[in-house]
Amino acid sequence: MFENYKKLAKNYGKIYVSWLKPFDFEIPRGRTPKKAVPVSFLSMVKHISSKEIHQISQSKEICGRIAFPGPIIYYIRKYANSYILQKLFQTCKYFFFRQPTPFCYRFIFSDTVKETKYNYISMGTSTTAKIMPKNLFIQNALHVSEQSNKLALSKFLPNFYKFEIKFLRIHNQKLTKKEFEFIVKEGNIEIVELSDVFIYENDASAKNETLANKLVPLEDIIKLCPKIKEFL
């Protein structure tokens, strides 16, 4: 490659370059005349007529082929953590098309938020919002405070795809053990704040106001959070 470049430089005459350490047949920046025009490498490429160029219509789509079989690709995107999944979305739009999962660093679910709001790292909504986000992947924190409806979080949980949160704060809510397990399933919880929260064993018990409902013991709740540092 170097010999070919040297031969082309000899054919084209003087080669003025802008880099600091030129070859012996190149002329460096300091010795370049004011009127000299740097030689473009494109001028050394063989000219191709427009008739020989095959243009692609803008209406056509080009589909890339993924090197892995379909089942492996499905397994990767289905069980990938938020970091890997974001990288896949950046690599190819195919992954987001197959799994449209928006990411949210911090999610706030409160009746003080009248409409769904977004900013750089967080999102807020409530049961009264006209636009409800769906299929959310919560990465760091979940804050819930619905004073008017104790089953609000329970009803909104299907709108979440997955939680990788480290900080959990829930106030004035009723959940089943299965629903709470879904929130803390990844085992990354470090700080938990539960205020006026009731976690029941069975699905139907959370809707019943009688005292006969069986609550999940605190010890079992702590076991679901192996990395916990603070429980408030």
pLDDT at res. 45? 45
Top mean pLDDT of 26-30, 36-40, 175-179, 203-207 is at 175-179
Mention every residue, 6+ apart, whose C-beta is less than 8 A from residue 197. Answer: 170, 171, 172, 173, 174, 175
The angle formed by the CA atoms of residues 130, 154 and 180, to the nearest 5 degrees, is 135
pLDDT tens digit sequence for 122-160? 788 877 777 778 888 888 888 888 888 888 888 888 888
pLDDT (average), residues 81-98: 84
- Mean local confidence (pLDDT), 26-49: 54
| Predicted pLDDT of residue 39 | 47
197-207: pLDDT as tens digits = 888 887 655 45
- Cβ neighbourhood burial of 27 (10 Å; 0-12, 13-18, 19+): middle
Pairing of strands 191-200, 230-231: parallel
Q: State the pLDDT at residue 40.
A: 46
CB crowding 175-206: b at 16 or more within 10 Å, else e: bbbebbebbbeeebbebbebeebbbbeeeebb
Q: Counting beta carbons within 10 angstroms of the beta carbon of residue 174, is it exposed (0 to 12), middle (13 to 18) or buried (19 or more)?
A: buried
Q: Residue 136: what pLDDT?
A: 86
The per-residue pLDDT for range 47-76, each reduced to its tens digit, is 445 555 555 555 555 556 666 677 777 888
Cα angle 68-74-227, degrees, rounded to a multiple of 5: 115
What ranges in 47-197 are assigned the alpha helix state H?
Answer: 70-79, 82-91, 93-98, 152-156, 177-184
